[in-house]
Every structure is written in C-alpha cells, then in structure tokens.
Structure 1
Amino acid sequence: MTRRTTSVAFAAALLATLVATAAPLAAQQPAEAWWRHVQVLSNDSLKGRDTGSPGHEVAARYVAEQFRLAGLSPAGTDGWYQPVRFIEVAMAKEGVALALREGDVWSPLVVGRDMRVTARLATDNVEAPLVFAGYGVSLPQAGMDDLRGLDLRGKIVVYVNANPKGLSAPLLAHGTRTRWATMRQAGAVGVIAVGAGGAWVDNENTRLGSSVSLADTSLDDLGGQRINSVLNPSLMPRLLAGSGIVWDSVVAVAARGEPLPTAALSVSLRATLPTVRRDIVSPNVVGILPGTDRTLRDEVVVLSAHLDHVGTFKGPALTGDSIFNGTMDNATGAATLMETAKAVAARGGNKRTLLFVAVTAEEKGLLGSRYFAARPSITRGTIIANLNTDMFLPLFPLKGLFVYGVDESDLADDVGGVLTARGLQVLPDPEPQEMRFVRSDQYSFIRRGVPSLAFKLGYTTGTAEEKTFTGWVRERYHKMSDDLQQPIDFEAAAGFNALYADLALGVANRKSRPAWRPNSFFATPVIVP
C-alpha cells in the first residue's frame, strides 16, 4: 500500500471509532448533535488538529461526511476538498548570527537575550540601516501615516508594537495587520518590533521562531521580509542614539496612544539567518447548497469556521497532558457549521447559494481562508457575504452577541433582526484593543471587499458573564485546558445555533445583496498584496 492509501485507511478507521464512542448528552438535552461533533473533533487521538497533520485529515473527513449527510454537494477542487499547499520555515539550530553597527564598530547581539527572530518565507541574510517609524501604521485615508517622509528603501524598520489612539477598532486592527504590506511597498527589507511596556523574557522556546506560509507566493502577506524580529527594549537607547529621540519619552507617549516621532537612525543590523523548510498540504472542506432563485443563485453566501488548532506542545517533555484539544477553539464553531448545514438544507428555500467552508490553517495566520477567498473552489458565482464562527464561547446564558464588523455593512440589519426576534441584542465590544475584527477568517473576505461578520456570546461590563469570559481567555485560550472537561452552557449553544441558521437563510433571501456602509473604509477592497 502507498503511504497515502495507508493514511486514508487509518483515518477512516479512526473516524469510525471516534463517532461510535462519542458520548450523548442526557435525554432531550439541547445541542446534543452539536455536542457529538465537538467530542469527535476534540478527541485526544486527533492530537490537536494541527494543519497538515493526520489528526486534521481525520477531522476533515468527518466534516465532509457530515456535509454529505446534511444534503450538501461537494464543492472543492477535489471532491469535498480544496487542498492547499504551504511551506513551513524554521530557523536552523546552528549558524544564526546578529550584529549591530554603531559608528564604525560592529557589536554582536545575543539571540534571546537581545533579540528574537522568526523565520518567514523570504528570510535571508541581510545587512541594512535602520529607521524608526513610530507605530509603523500607515493609513493616510484616516489621517495617520507613520511612514510619511521616511526613506525605507533597503531599510529595516523599527516600530513600537502598541496601539495609537484616534482610529476605530476595525480600522486600527486593519492598520496594524497591514503594517508590513505598506512598508514593503515603500522598499523596506525587514522589521524589528519593540514593546513599550513589560519585562523582557528570554525563553529558549521563543528565541528562534518558525512560521507557515502559503506556497502561492502571490498570496504571501509577508513577502520580501528578510528579517522578522523582536528587540529587547533595553537596547533602544543605543538604536536611537544621535536621532534626537529619547526612548523613555517614547514609552510614555506610546502608553497614552499619542503620535510618536520618526527618524532615520545611524545604526545598522547585520543578520546571518539560515533556515530549514518543509512542505505541507492541508485541505479546506467545502460543501454547497445551491440557490433556488434563477436570478440570485449566482450570488454566494459563505459560512465559514476553522477546523484546525495548534497541535501538541512542542517544548521540553512534560508529564501528563500535551495536547491542545481546541474544544472551544474551534471545535465548537466547526460543529455549528455542520449543524447549520443540516438545518438550512432541511428547511430549504435559500434563494442565494450557501457555501459551507471548514477552513484550515487559521492558527497559522488565516491562511486557509486567505487562499479560499482569493482562489474560490466554486466554478460559478460571486461571493457576496461571509458569516464566520470562531470560538463563539457558549459559557453563560445567551443574552446578546458581540458582532465583529457590525458597524461596517448593512449585514447589521440582518443580524439585528434575528436577535430582536429572540429578545436579544448586539452588544458593544468592550475590548476593541484585542482586534478580534482581524483575528479570524472573516478578515480574508473583508479585505477582498466582501461584507462579513463574526460572532461571540456577549456580556455587559461589570457582570458575572464578563468575569467568566475574561477568565476563560486567561486560563484556557490556546492552552491544554481548552478540552472537553470545561463547563459549557448547552442552552446557549443551542440558541446560538438556531439564530445562526436563521441568519444564514435571512442573508440568502434578503432582497438586495449586502453592501458596505458609505463611510466604511472597507467599502474599497484592501487586497494586499
């Protein structure tokens, strides 16, 4: 047997075992079918569903089978699947060298103590002068441009990794997410980020980082970035020497979110950066429910949820658990995607086509959705909206939702109507600094001009729900404790699933295609690169 045949046979056998052993809830409990999906996807045998892993392959096969049972048709480039090619890049264990030129003297820097380096697809040896660019955010349309007046050609850009004030939460999120794209367009060859608060920690596991990129280099958001690094803030006075900028003043100003100074610097960095590379293939899973209206069926509404998680602990050997099960993140969202497919297919009547996509590599930087949004697997139709579910957190009773992107398009009317009908409401995001607007797969569609929304169960500040929500993020997010043993509000999960199905059909059947608000920055596609 070939290795591929063996892998598929193993996946099928494991999948059958997982489905048979998923424990049902007590009789007539809400969200019972949803919970079975969550159990399967969170099982230890899937080893955290890392992109390209056997566990993720099993999960993808499970989703494809559930799509089939729901009555969808396959809509990938290979049956149910859209295989996506990636390249993993890591720094070599030996040979990395860093040095700083101050005047005519080159001084070596110590990896970890002075600087951390993460490998990217374009990582290569580099020697270049430095320039300080404040926050590094360039949004001239919004009246903010830290790159204005700076010559970045052939330079490494040093910027403060902090949030300037004066921008809306979605615009701030977009501006920080696209820092490198604007720097690259201006001719930069690399970046050095520096924090403006907190202690520097030299952790052996983070000194030399790895990354995963799309093999399709035309879609590489970090293309041309020869060095990606983080600097120990204690070195900043040396970098700023002679520029007229005082680091302690920068720290104080950044803490207030006020504009920062910028300047060319008199120092240069030399870096020797050997890398090792590995090819990965991992699929998006795609099912379609064709629209019933001859006029509208070529308008496609995409419902998405990421299927991957972060795998297993890669550090020194530990005793006990080493698996990041990703129950909330995002077995719950993938389960909702499958249950929504079943619900809307049974109800029927969707005038527009509904496309259900379980994307891969969200945890690697929204890469699976980035590929799908740029290279849709469907042969006809135009994507006109995206509804994305990622870690919606059914931790407490459902009273309202955080809806990321709600102020940007008239999809707000659709979600508002669905919530109002249930006595619920859209709640204001109390943590805009967390930039959740760009931290999941809806952003891949937004940047291509597609009105999109994402959701979490909401709370109001000062309540027990806030304590539960923030406690979960602190104690379980991307930790091994995000597993099947944590408390879950099944009534809330059932309520969310029901309103999500209604929302999907509502968008599919609305009179006009969704549109951006006239004042939204995203009304113009922001395709980068």
Structure 2
Amino acid sequence: MRNLAKAPVACAALLLLAGNAAPGPVDPDSRAWWALATELSSDSMEGRDAGSGGYERAARLVAERMAAAGLQPLGEDGTWFQRVSLQERAVTDATLNGPGGNLAFLDEFTVDPQPGLPSSIELPIAYRGYCGAGVLGDVRGKLVICHGTRRDGLPNGKERDAALRNAGAAGLAEIADPGFEIEPPRWPYAYARRVIRSAEAENSEAFIDLTINADALDKLIGSGRAAALVADGATGRDLPSFDGGVARMTFAMRTAQYSSPNVIGYLPGTDPALADQAIVLGAHLDGYGFGRAVDGDAIYNGTLDDAAYVALIVHLMELRKREGYRRPIVVGIWTGEEKGLHGSRWFVDHPTIPLSRVAANINLDQLRPIFPLELLTIHARDDTTLGRDASSIAEAMGIVPQDDPEPERNLIRRTDHWPFIQAGIPAVNFVFGFAPGSASEAVYREWYRTGYHKPQDDVNQPIDWQAAADFNRFFYALVDRVANADAAPAWLPDSELAPRKSVAAGSVD
C-alpha cells in the first residue's frame, strides 16, 4: 500500500502560500484533463521510468486515447510507437569513507556511473576551493574537492572538469552549492544512473565524479572547517587550498539494455495547401520511476513533470477531433527526457515524418500551476513568430509575457523543444513566472526544494486550479492561432538561435 502520509508532506506552507484549498478542478474541461493526468501518474504506472512496465502501460493508454480522438498512428511500421534503444549503467550501491566518517549513498553523496568506475579505490584528498586551473597545483592521482558554483568570474562546470583532467586528478568531489537558491540541490538523489542511446559513443575513462551534500563535507575532510568553507563557497568568497586524508570508495554496478517508445500520432490538416507545414505538439511521458524513498514513498509519480501536460495535449486532440486545424498536427509524446532528451533527439534524427514538413514545435514541460498565472516565461520569445503569437495571446488574457529571468539555470536546453531548435525548427516552451519576493516565488522555490523530481510531485500536491485552467486556455488559443494562420511560423531576423547560428555552427549544448 502506498504511504498516504505524504499528502501533508506536500507542505502546508505551499497550500497557505498558494491560497487554494480547492480539492480539485471545478470546471468540466479541467476535470476531464485532470482525470487523464491522474490516471497517467497513478501508482499503477510506477512513475513511468523509461523502459519500465509502468511506462509501457502509460504509452499504451496514450495511444488508445489518441486513436479514440481520431488521430492516425505515426510511429514505426504503422504503429503508434517509435522505439528508442537505450543503454543504462547504474551504481546500485556505493560507500565513501573520509577522515571524518562514512557518507550515506544518495543522501550525502552520489556518483556518475562512468564505464571505468572501479569496484574499490583509495585516493588522497585535496581541497582546492573553486578549482580554477591556477590554484590546483599538484593534484595528480588525487580526489579533488571543489565547490560547484554558477557565479560570474568563477570556474563553471566545464572549465573545472577540464582543469582537473589536465592536471591529472583521479576524481572530483563537487560540493552541491547550497547558495544556488533558485534551484537548490536535491537530496536525496533518486538513484545514480546514466542512460545513453545505444548508438552513442560512451567515454570509458576511469575518472571518478562524485557530488557531495554540503552538510556532509566534514565527513570527507574531517577538519571541523566544513561549515565555514560551505558558507564562504556559497557566497563566492575566497577559499583556501589544502591536502589531507584518504577517501576510500566502493562501487557496485549494474548495466542494462532496453527500448522505450515515443508515442506519435497524426491529425491531418483541413487545408491541402498547408499539408507540408505540420505543427508538432510535444511533452514527455517518462518520469523517474522508483527511487530512494522520501517520507516512506518510493514512487516518483511525476504528475506535473510531465504527465499533466501529456494529458493536456491528448485532451486537446479529443476536443478538436471533429473540427481539426488547417495545418496537420503531430503529437509527439517523448520518452527518455529525464535521462537526456533521448526520445525527442531520436525523433529529430529519425523522423517519422520528413522534418521538411515540420513547421514548428510547441512543447509543454516545466509547467507548475501552483500559484496564479500572472507572468509567463516564454523560451525563445524573441527568436520566432511563435514567441510573438504566445506573447499576444498572453497579453490578451491579462498575463505578462517575459524572457527567461534565470538564464543561469539553462532551462531552454533542458527540455524537448531544444532538439527541434537545433534542427532549425521554430520551437517554444513555457514556465510560470513570478515577481521577485512575491508569495508566488516562495511557492515556486519551495516546490523545487520538496517536489521537483520527488515522490511528492503527485496528484495530492496543492494546485492552483484557476492558474491551471488559465494556462490550458492559453495553450488551446496558441495552437488554434499557429495551426490556422495563413503564414507558417518563422525565425525572426535577429534571432541568436536561428539555423545559421545554431545549426551551421554545430550543437550549442
């Protein structure tokens, strides 16, 4: 039986801040949408981890609903499904002992499951602050402790990794930055897995890549200095360098190969002149599946991330099955987003409809209807006419459109519209916005601390039903405008993402 004690864990503070005690949606349209979202993110779907039985059940349900809505299958061999072959490497258990004690796997440290990871190893420890190339000194063969940071003027992740490898370090223990409050570290981690598409090349180096909970740093350095170092590192102050102690580690590994399907449907357009201008409506079906239990619950249901917005696209198709749109609609329900955008990348590389016939992608992800919809972040807002259309519709609804106010989170590259942008196809994605210092911001930050990629993202969490309904109406209006307009979506002349820069110059990931 599911641990139902987690419903209040979705935080009385969130409920108070959201100011919404309604038990569920009140309008008929929202009730129909939420019923499917509830079914897709129920415990019977087991969190829909790519390649799992729960994911397959959810994919079949989506295909059945598409068929009932009058769509045609656009997968492989006349089916609804486009299978993506995946390889998984997981650390099933690990130990890390430092001078100050043992760190708990997934609660206090995690590890990137590299192919060359040894079953056991001992390494001398070197602490090097932010790990800029100029302060490393002799770190050959050492596990180097570094503060993760996204502050201007300090090394970013790529620079830090390159400096360590060039200096001959054996591994990195990166302190997850508690000062990055706009998206705080998420402990415990659900699991330690690396998933790649089977055709991808895999790096076989033996470099050890750990992430450390800042609260456990004293166990790794054993000096009693951790609190001061973490406080200084979280605010960008100068940090010392020192060596001392040995880290003893063991790793138990598991590998697996499997496939997981995209679910792809097609709604023909009503205007033959626009038949080669399909609009792709996309959302990801996969979630985290089973993971480290939080408050007794180990099923990461992923209701808002992203079952609710798979449901919304399917529900819209059900609403429009008789009327349709002038342009064709491709419904792309992607797999493997949580493990690296694998499903959308596979579709773009192996399209079941020629990409020359795809005019645009409207993606639904990163949507959190947990406070009033007064501001709406529109990714790539100034890059395509999609952004202009979305802004116009939002403004007509009394919603203020905005560019991404937190570009350091790199959200534009973290969801399934990004492969379409890289392929030169206009695309757009949305995030609920908030005014700095507002109650809405407090709700949003708390959700990222307690709900994001956690079992608490389920149907019991507080929802602002008016905000949810407002976004749904916005989405319906946007699809109607884009799919019925005389002119196809297009890149704007000054776009930094337009094909001449994002494609001709190669990947900008």
State the TM-score, normalized to the length of structure 1. Answer: 0.69
Matched, 1:527 2:504: no
Instruction: Name which of structure 1's ranges 383-392 and 185-194 shifts more when overlaid on structure 2.
Output: 185-194
C-alpha distance in 1, partners of 2:497/2:187?
41
Q: Give 1:437's aligned residue.
A: 412
Give the C-alpha shift of residue 376 in structure 1: 2.5
8 A Cα contact 2:63 2:80, kept in partner: yes
Residues 154-303 of structure 1: matches in 2 within 5 Å?
160-165=147-152, 192-195=173-176, 210-218=192-200, 226-230=207-211, 255=234, 275-291=253-269, 296-303=274-281
Residues 300-449 of structure 1: matches in 2 within 5 Å?
300-315=278-293, 318=296, 321-351=297-327, 353-379=328-354, 381-427=356-402, 429-449=404-424
Could you say if the C-alpha distance between residues 386 and 223 of structure 1 is closer, same or farther in structure 2, counting changes exceeding 3 Å? farther
C-alpha distance in 1, partners of 2:198/2:277?
27
Q: Which amino acid aligns with 2:208?
A: I
Q: Which amino acid aligns with 2:83?
A: P
C-alpha distance in 2, partners of 1:512/1:394?
30
Instruction: Find the residue that maps to 1:218 and give its secondary structure.
Output: coil
Q: Give 1:48's aligned residue.
A: 47
8 A Cα contact 2:25 2:465, kept in partner: no
Instruction: Name which of structure 1's ranges 467-476 and 283-292 shifts more when overlaid on structure 2.
Output: 467-476
C-alpha distance in 2, partners of 1:225/1:445?
34
Deviation readout 1:353-411 (Å, 9 max, x if unpaired): 42211112222233322333333333563544322212422234433312233244443
C-alpha distance in 2, partners of 1:55/1:518?
44
Q: Which amino acid aligns with 1:210?
A: A
Deviation readout 1:279-319 (Å, 9 max, x if unpaired): 2322111112244555653344322111122223445994x
Instruction: Find the residue that maps to 1:48 and give its secondary structure.
Output: helix
C-alpha distance in 1, partners of 2:248/2:383?
43
Instruction: Find the residue that maps to 1:487 and give its secondary structure.
Output: coil
Instruction: Find the residue that maps to 2:467 and give its secondary structure.
Output: helix
Q: Which amino acid aligns with 2:471?
A: F
8 A Cα contact 1:156 1:191, kept in partner: yes
Q: Which amino acid aligns with 1:323?
A: I
Matched, 1:34 2:33: yes
C-alpha distance in 2, partners of 1:427/1:236?
43
Instruction: Find the residue that maps to 1:309 and give its secondary structure.
Output: coil
Give the C-alpha shift of residue 228 in structure 1: 2.4
8 A Cα contact 2:376 2:400, kept in partner: yes
Q: Which amino acid aligns with 1:38?
A: A
8 A Cα contact 2:312 2:472, kept in partner: yes
Note the residue ranges of structure 1 that are not aligned, 5 or more in a row.
Answer: 1-23, 100-106, 137-145, 239-246
Q: Which amino acid aligns with 2:151?
A: P
Deviation readout 1:437-485 (Å, 9 max, x if unpaired): 3333223333444443221333323433333333333343333333223
Q: Give 2:91's aligned residue.
A: 91
Instruction: Find the residue that maps to 2:116 and give its secondary structure.
Output: coil
C-alpha distance in 2, partners of 1:443/1:182?
28
Q: Give 1:81's aligned residue.
A: 81
Could you say if the C-alpha distance between residues 498 and 255 of structure 1 is closer, same or farther in structure 2, counting changes exceeding 3 Å? same
8 A Cα contact 2:502 2:508, kept in partner: no
Could you say if the C-alpha distance between residues 135 and 281 of structure 1 is closer, same or farther in structure 2, counting changes exceeding 3 Å? farther
8 A Cα contact 2:101 2:220, kept in partner: no
C-alpha distance in 1, partners of 2:101/2:162?
27
Could you say if the C-alpha distance between residues 338 and 234 of structure 1 is closer, same or farther in structure 2, counting changes exceeding 3 Å? same
8 A Cα contact 2:382 2:492, kept in partner: no
Could you say if the C-alpha distance between residues 29 and 277 of structure 1 is closer, same or farther in structure 2, counting changes exceeding 3 Å? same
8 A Cα contact 1:60 1:307, kept in partner: yes
Give the C-alpha shift of residue 34 in structure 1: 0.5
8 A Cα contact 1:45 1:55, kept in partner: yes
Number of residues paired by the alignment? 467
Instruction: Find the residue that maps to 2:337 and give its secondary structure.
Output: coil
Instruction: Name which of structure 1's ranges 247-256 and 29-38 shifts more when overlaid on structure 2.
Output: 247-256
8 A Cα contact 2:59 2:261, kept in partner: yes
Deviation readout 1:188-233 (Å, 9 max, x if unpaired): 99755344657xxxx9976x9531312424276x776753223676
C-alpha distance in 1, partners of 2:367/2:92?
38
Could you say if the C-alpha distance between residues 386 and 479 of structure 1 is closer, same or farther in structure 2, counting changes exceeding 3 Å? same
C-alpha distance in 2, partners of 1:41/1:297?
32
Could you say if the C-alpha distance between residues 236 and 75 of structure 1 is closer, same or farther in structure 2, counting changes exceeding 3 Å? same
8 A Cα contact 2:287 2:305, kept in partner: yes
Give the C-alpha shift of residue 163 in structure 1: 0.6
Give the CA RMSD over aligned residues. 5.0
Q: Give 2:15's aligned residue.
A: none
Could you say if the C-alpha distance between residues 350 and 376 of structure 1 is closer, same or farther in structure 2, counting changes exceeding 3 Å? same
Deviation readout 1:322-362 (Å, 9 max, x if unpaired): 433222222211111112333455443333x4221111222
Instruction: Find the residue that maps to 1:312 and give its secondary structure.
Output: strand
C-alpha distance in 1, partners of 2:340/2:411?
13
Instruction: Find the residue that maps to 1:381 and give its secondary structure.
Output: helix
8 A Cα contact 1:328 1:393, kept in partner: yes
8 A Cα contact 1:123 1:273, kept in partner: no
C-alpha distance in 1, partners of 2:440/2:125?
46
Instruction: Find the residue that maps to 1:283 and give its secondary structure.
Output: strand
Deviation readout 1:108-137 (Å, 9 max, x if unpaired): 997759x9452435334499999999979x
Q: Which amino acid aligns with 2:174?
A: A
Q: Give 2:490's aligned residue.
A: 514
- The counterpart of 2:465, out of the listed 490, 515, 521, is 490
8 A Cα contact 2:385 2:489, kept in partner: no
State the TM-score, normalized to the length of structure 2. Answer: 0.71
Instruction: Find the residue that maps to 1:47 and give its secondary structure.
Output: helix
C-alpha distance in 2, partners of 1:214/1:435?
21
Instruction: Find the residue that maps to 1:401 and give its secondary structure.
Output: strand
Give the C-alpha shift of residue 434 in structure 1: 4.0
8 A Cα contact 2:48 2:55, kept in partner: yes
